[in-house]
């Protein structure tokens, strides 16, 4: 999508569709509708009177050949109640316009820049890009190919807010990074094997000037990653540990951030096999890893002054003849022993060794993102990511970044009482803690491997995938978490 800033008066802007938004309180004369030529606004009064233009959230009213305007169409998008409005809402409003127009074969739109705040420009660019994604990659007649070619940001003759250009770049980078993550999450496991995921990571790193290293089965065993290897050995597909580094010259040596993303390209459950209903959804079990690749792509372009290493343990979890079994005891890279009570609790195992390795590589703060538990979906549903960690300062940094990014995240507790639940009679700990508090015990298991290093865990099992289409976003992979982590890393840069 090409994005261009234009400054001619709105009546003279020649475009396929000029888009304005309005509030419920005064649909014909609020929001950016207020900035349209008087002649048009007069014509909107009867629409409002007839109840055809209400300003209700995401209502779309499309007028053809608006009188006195160079635009071929005028699209009015409802912004809901004014009191609930914030700049962040622009993302969903522009997104609604994008999806409404592209489904009608329109390839270009002009969005009226509404405020003097440059931040708004970032939200508009991000919202348009995110909305223009469809998860129909393997459909022979794709919607995805019928997307928007060009987004015009129309100032209507007003001065451009200072910083608008860099805000536009930031919004574009954030939108593209989320779409990259969504594309990876959407890939079926026969296409995106651990090997292919590593290749996609390597390609991205080369394109954006990052260092990338990929370890295979031999190196994983040589490093004594017994927990990661236990999961990997049940699959014919060779495992990969993907390591992507961003270390800008002159950045402070501390903190050195380790981003660890769960990269299970398919989770059958292993010997503790999952029921077949919905098992296909387990192609998305590498969403944490995909999140980290999206984040790395974004920071390679935004260039915050902070050192970051992403580690993605990638493997299938399969019940092959060599698979690990319930009752097995394995020795993790840290030396801690683990009794396997359920081979479907595989995420925490691959993350345990990746965390240990991140510390060995010199990371001083660890953030892991994982589709870890069904339990977090029971607790928080599909819209909110679970946040866990002992270190208040880092948990709060993540929560602050999430609210700036407009992603819903909520802290759940970690507490010594829960330790009892994953005790083992034979080994240092068991890999499951039972049904009650399953998201907490899963998180705490990972935390055992962080030790004293500040650590935050994000459980995105619920938020990785949207079960319903929204006016501004396709059904399917969400890219949830990318914006928050990019925000966190750019906050650290200051």
Catalytic residues: 274, 348
The two three-digit tokens of residue 137, written as one number: 């990659």
By CB under 6 A, residue 371 contacts ligand BES:
yes
Give the nearer residue to ligand BES in terms of CB position, either 267 or 407.
267
Question: HSE (CB half, 13 Å, CA atoms) of 254?
Answer: 4
Give the nearer residue to Zn ion in terms of CB position, either 66 or 269.
269
CB of 467 to ligand BES, least distance (A): 11
Query: Which residues lie closer than 8 Å to 357 by C-beta, 6 or more apart?
Result: 223, 225, 241, 311, 333
Pairing assessment for the beta strands 240-246 and 211-215 based on DSSP bridges? antiparallel
Give the nearer residue to Mn ion in terms of CB position, either 344 or 353.
344
Cα–Cα distance for residue pair 329/316, rounded to 1 Å: 20
Give the nearer residue to Mn ion in terms of CB position, either 144 or 326.
326
Beta-bridged to residue 337, according to DSSP, are 331
Rule CB under 5 A: which residues touch Zn ion? 264, 267, 285, 347
CB of 280 to ligand BES, least distance (A): 11
Cα–Cα distance for residue pair 375/372, rounded to 1 Å: 9
- Phi/psi of residue 279, each to 5°? -65, -30
By CB under 5 A, residue 267 contacts Mn ion:
yes
The binder of 342, among ligand BES, Zn ion, Mn ion, none, by C-beta within 5 to 8 A per type, is ligand BES
Give the nearer residue to ligand BES in terms of CB position, either 257 or 330.
330
The two three-digit tokens of residue 485, written as one number: 């982590």
Interface of this chain with ligand BES, residues 325 to 354, rule: CB under 6 A: 342, 344-347
Interface of this chain with ligand BES, residues 440 to 469, rule: CB under 6 A: 461
Query: Which residues lie closer than 8 Å to 98 by C-beta, 6 or more apart?
Result: 109, 127, 128, 131, 132, 148, 151, 472
Distance of CA 107 to the CA centre of its chain: 26
By CB under 5 A, residue 344 contacts Mn ion:
yes
Q: What's the N-to-C CA distance of the chain in angstroms?
A: 30
Pattern 403-442, ligand BES, x by CB under 6 A? -----------------------------x-----x----
By CB under 6 A, residue 374 contacts ligand BES:
yes
Q: Could you give the C-alpha distances from 80 to 35, 403, 488, in angstroms and in order?
A: 18, 21, 30
Pattern 239-278, ligand BES, x by CB under 6 A? ----------------------------x-----------
Chain residues binding ligand BES by CB under 6 A are 267, 285, 342, 344-347, 371-375, 432, 438, 461
- Give the residues lining the site for Mn ion (CB under 5 A): 267, 344, 346
């Amino acid at each position: 999508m090409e994005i261009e800033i234009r400054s001619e008066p709105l009546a003279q802007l020649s475009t396929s569709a000029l888009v304005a938004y309005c509030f419920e309180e005064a649909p014909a004369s609020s929001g950016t509708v207020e900035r349209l030529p008087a002649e048009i606004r007069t014509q909107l009064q009867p629409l409002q009177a007839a109840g055809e233009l209400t300003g209700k959230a995401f209502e779309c009213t499309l007028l053809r050949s608006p009188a006195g305007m160079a635009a071929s169409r005028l699209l009015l998008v409802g912004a809901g109640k004014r009191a609930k409005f914030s700049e962040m809402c622009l993302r969903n409003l522009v997104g609604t316009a994008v999806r409404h127009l592209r489904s009608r074969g329109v390839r270009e739109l002009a969005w009226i820049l509404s405020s003097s705040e440059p931040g708004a420009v970032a939200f508009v660019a991000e919202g348009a890009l995110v909305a223009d994604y469809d998860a129909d990659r393997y459909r022979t007649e794709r919607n995805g190919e019928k997307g928007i070619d060009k987004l015009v940001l129309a100032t209507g003759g007003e001065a451009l807010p200072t910083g608008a250009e860099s805000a536009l770049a930031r919004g574009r980078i954030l939108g593209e990074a989320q779409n990259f993550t969504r594309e990876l999450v959407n890939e079926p496991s026969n296409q995106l094997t651990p090997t292919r995921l590593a290749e996609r990571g390597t390609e991205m790193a080369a394109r954006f000037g990052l260092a990338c290293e990929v370890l295979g089965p031999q190196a994983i065993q040589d490093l004594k990653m017994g927990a990661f290897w236990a999961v990997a050995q049940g699959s014919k597909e060779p495992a990969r540990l993907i390591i992507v580094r961003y270390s800008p010259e002159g950045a402070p040596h501390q903190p050195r951030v380790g981003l660890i993303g769960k990269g299970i390209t398919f989770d059958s459950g292993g010997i503790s096999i999952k029921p077949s209903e919905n098992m296909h959804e387990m192609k998305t079990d590498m969403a944490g890893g995909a999140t980290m690749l999206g984040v790395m792509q974004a920071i390679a372009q935004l260039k915050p002054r902070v050192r970051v290493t992403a580690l993605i343990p990638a493997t299938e979890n399969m019940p092959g003849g060599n698979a690990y079994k319930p009752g097995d005891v394995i020795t993790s890279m840290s030396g801690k022993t683990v009794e396997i009570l359920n081979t479907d609790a595989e995420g925490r195992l691959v993350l345990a060794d990746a965390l240990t390795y991140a510390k060995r590589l010199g990371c001083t703060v660890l953030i892991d993102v994982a589709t870890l538990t069904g339990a977090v979906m029971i607790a928080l549903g599909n819209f909110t990511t679970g946040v866990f960690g002992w270190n208040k300062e880092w948990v709060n940094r993540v929560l602050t970044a999430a609210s700036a990014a407009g992603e819903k995240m909520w802290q759940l507790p970690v507490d010594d009482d829960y330790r009892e639940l994953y005790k083992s009679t034979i080994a240092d700990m068991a890999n499951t803690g039972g049904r009650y508090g399953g998201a907490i015990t899963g998180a705490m298991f990972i935390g055992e491997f962080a030790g004293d290093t500040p650590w935050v865990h994000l459980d995105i099992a619920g938020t990785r995938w949207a079960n319903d289409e929204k006016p501004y976003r396709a059904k399917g992979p969400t890219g949830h978490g990318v914006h928050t982590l990019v925000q966190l890393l750019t906050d650290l840069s200051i």
